Amino acid sequence: MFVDQQDFLTPAEEKGVYDQHQNDPQDRGYRQFLSRLFDPVLDFGSGPGPTLSLMFEEVGHTMTIFDHFYANDPAVWLFSYDFITTSEVVEHIQQLGAELERLWCHLNSGGVLGVMTKMVTDAEAFSHWHYKNDPTHVRFFSRATFEWLAQHWQAEYEFVGSDVVIFRKSGG
């Protein structure tokens, strides 16, 4: 499911919504929320308060962050990565196919792409779902969407809980 392109916010309007997010690295509840992606695995879409990347650094990983609004450094695309995380990001991406392919192409063989996003369970639930009311959310996913992506990429995948999927890129 997706929002009609004519209803997309302008970049300035979109950033205005993101500026209201409270992504504080010191917030234990927020860290617990992110641990669903951190525990199984380039923090892509790090937001105004990059926390997931700090959690990885605290246990010894070297991290690179990228965010269209807050850490837009095109130099990140000069490298490939062993793992890439996207936490609550893919629902915001207007040119989703191209962006997912770019992430996949910058993932090393055997690497991991972790995606965290709320997933649609059925049309009835979607009609009452608060998540669709965020004007920056323009794409919505179901498990079937991620299963299709895994088949398209010929990747192994695993669902972790109700809102995380981990893809592993084939080696060699």
Measured distance CA(85)–CA(77) in Å, rounded: 15
3-state secondary structure 56-125: HHHCCCCCCEEECCCECCHHHHHCCEEEEEEECCHHHCCCHHHHHHHHHHCEEEEEEEEEECCECCCHHH
149 forms bridges with which residues in the sheet? none
- pLDDT tens by residue, 91-147: 999 999 999 999 999 999 999 999 999 999 998 988 999 888 999 999 999 999 999
Q: Say if residue 40's pLDDT is above 70.
A: no
Return the pLDDT at 172: 59
> Do β-strands 107-116 and 164-168 pair in parallel, antiparallel, or remain unpaired?
antiparallel
Q: Say if residue 4's pLDDT is above 50.
A: yes
pLDDT bucket at 42, cuts 50 / 70 / 90: low
Least confident of 44-58, 68-82, 91-105: 44-58
> Do β-strands 107-116 and 81-87 pair in parallel, antiparallel, or remain unpaired?
parallel
